Amino acid sequence: KQEVTQIPAALSVPEGENLVLNCSFTDSAIYNLQWFRQDPGKGLTSLLLIQSSQREQTSGRLNASLDKSSGRSTLYIAASQPGDSATYLCAVRVTGGGNKLTFGTGTQLKVEL
């Protein structure tokens, strides 16, 4: 059974800092991995999707990496801004698992002025 863990559960940084969020998964037979952002009381917004054959994906100030063999992914946020404050969740789709995503519990990020 796939388990996804995100550490730390919460993180507070000053504006302008570069930061890394971590995601680990127990079953390396994944089809893809997605990073999402969730604002309080809202739905999820997809940030980046990395296919199993890829090592990283970039969108603006965000860069996500994937190391399947070690069961890890990181989300790098450059030059953080207060508007980046949200909960960041990663989710994996297991090979042969159909359309099911297994989510981590997220990292709650606060970027302070």
Partner 1 sequence: DAMVIQNPRYQVTQFGKPVTLSCSQTLNHNVMYWYQQKSSQAPKLLFHYYDKDFNNEADTPDNFQSRRPNTSFCFLDIRSPGLGDAAMYLCATSLYGTQSGANVLTFGAGSRLTVL
CA distances to 11, 25, 37 from 80, in Å? 12, 26, 14
d(CA 65, CA 11): 20
- The one among 55, 61, 100, 110 contacting partner 1 by CB under 8 A: 100
Binding track over 75-94 against partner 1, x by CB under 8 A: --------------x---x-
Both structure tokens of 75 = 């989300």
- The answer to whether 98 contacts partner 1 (rule: CB under 8 A) is yes
Residues of the shown chain interacting with partner 1 in the complex, contacts defined by CB under 8 A: 4, 31-32, 34, 36, 41-46, 49, 89, 93, 98-101, 103-106
